[in-house]
Amino acid sequence: MLVLRVAPALILIGALLGIPAAVMSTSPAHADQVREREYWLQDYGIEAAWSVTKGAGVRIAIIDTGIDGSHPDLLGAVVGGADFSGLGSFNGQTPVGSERRHGTMVASLAAGRGNNGTDGVLGSAPEAQLLSLSMSFGGGLISPDEQIAQAVRFAVDNQADIISLSLTRNTRDWPESWDDAFGYAEDNDVVVIAAAGNRGSGTVAVGAPATMPGVLTVGGVTQEGIASDSASSQGITIGVMAPSEGLVGAIPEGGYVSWSGTSGATPIVAGIVALVRAAYPSMDAANVVNRILATARPVGQSIPDALYGYGLVDAYAAVTAQVPLVDAHPLGTLDEWVTLHRRLEGSSIVVPLGPTNVAEEAPKTADRVIAAAPDTRRDTLPYVVTGIFAVLLLLVLASGTGLAWLRRGKR
C-alpha cells in the first residue's frame, strides 16, 4: 500500500504502506510457479464464483503508480487511463516514481489474465477492464492529494464502476478537495475500495481514504485467516478482510514478485466487487457493498467486529447468496458526513446570552423583543415588603396617637 505522509510533505514509503516494506522477496518468481501460489483463488471462493461470471463488462480504476499494460498477464486488460503526476505518459501506462512497480502489482491481483492458459497471475476478475491512473507520491506538478482528487473524477467520467486505492494518508482526516471528488463518485454510483494499511510499515491505525464514509475498507489476514500483525492495520472502519500475506504479483517488464500488504488485499476485493457488479448489472453501489458485507464469513466476537469487520470476504457467496435489498448504504454516505460535519468547521456558533446592560441594550420596541421579559417580581419584593411594613408601622403609631388624643378629650 502506498502511504502519503502529511508532514512535512506527502511521500510514498512503500507497498500498501510501502512497496519496499511489503515486498517479501525481490527475486522474480517463475511464471509456472505463480498460479499455484494463488491460494486465495480457491480459499476465498473466487474460482467457484467464476462459474457465474469473471467480471466481463465491469471497469476498475486503479489509482496508483501506473500499470504496465504490456505485461503478458495484463495484455488487453487496460482499456484507458491518464497521468496526473506530470511525469508519466498520457495514457497512465508508464509507471512513475521510486516505487513504480506497485501499480502493476495491484492491477494483476484485480484483473490479471494469466498467460499460456496455466501460467501467470489471475486476478479475482480476469475479464474485467482496467483504467490506469498514474500518480506520484514523492513529487509531481501538483500535490499527491490533488492528484488523487483529479484521478477520482477522471475515473468517474470514464465509466469506472469501481475505484481501487492501495494507499493511505496515514491520518484519519482528508483534504476538502476529496469531499467533492469522492462525493462525485458516490453520486455516480461508483464503489470505492481502500486499503486499511500495514502496521509493519508504520500505519498503526486506519487512515484516509479508508476512514471516509461509504468507502469499503479492506484489512488483511494471514494464509490461515488470522488478522495480520505486520501486513494490516486495525480500525473500526474495516469492512472485510482478505489475504495480505504470501501474495504474488506481476511487475513491469514481464516479471513477478512475492509481497505482502493490504495493497494486495484491496485489489483482490476490488475484483470480487467486479464479479458482483457483473452478476447484478442493475444493482446500485449500496447493495453491491451490502452483498460483500452480508456474505463475508464472520470471524470475531460480533458483526461487525472491531478487528475483522464483517469477516473474511467470500466471492462465491457474494454472487450467489440471497441477500435482501437495502435502502441506504451500509457504510454511510460522504454527502451526509459533509453536511453534518464539514460545513460546521470554521463557523462560529453564537449563543445569545442576553444583554449585559439592560438599560443600554434592551430593545426599544416590543416587536423587536426576541427574549422573554425579565421576571421583576424577585427584584421588587424586598421593596414591597419594606413599604408594607412602614405603612403598618405608621398606622400603629397613628392609632396610638389617636387613642391618646381621644382619652385627653374625654377628660
The residues annotated as belonging to the active site are 64, 102, 263
Q: Which distant-in-sequence residues (6+ apart) come within 8 Å of 167 by Cβ?
A: 1, 2, 3, 4, 16, 63, 64, 137, 148, 194, 195, 209, 263
Nearest residue to 190 (alpha-carbon basis) of 214, 209, 166: 214
Which residue's C-alpha cell is 434592551?
Answer: 362
- Measured CA distances, 229 to 16, 226, 239, 252 (Å): 14, 9, 18, 29
Task: Return d(Cα 167, Cα 181) in angstroms, integer.
Answer: 16
First to last CA, the chain: 120
Structural contact between residues 252 and 100, judged by C-beta atoms closer than 8 angstroms: yes
Q: Is the dihedral of CA 107, 111, 113, 119 positive or negative?
A: positive
| CA 270/CA 318 separation, integer angstroms | 13
User: Which run of H or E residues covers position 220?
Assistant: strand 216-221
Nearest to 327 by CA among 279, 287, 294: 287
C-alpha grid cell, residue 6: 502529511
Distances (CA, A) of 27 to 24, 72, 207, 366: 9, 18, 31, 85
Determine contact, residues 273/240, Cβ cutoff 8 Å. no
Instruction: Please tell me the total number of residues recorded for the chain in this structure.
Output: 411
Q: 27, 103, 102, 99: which is closest to 255 by C-alpha? A: 27
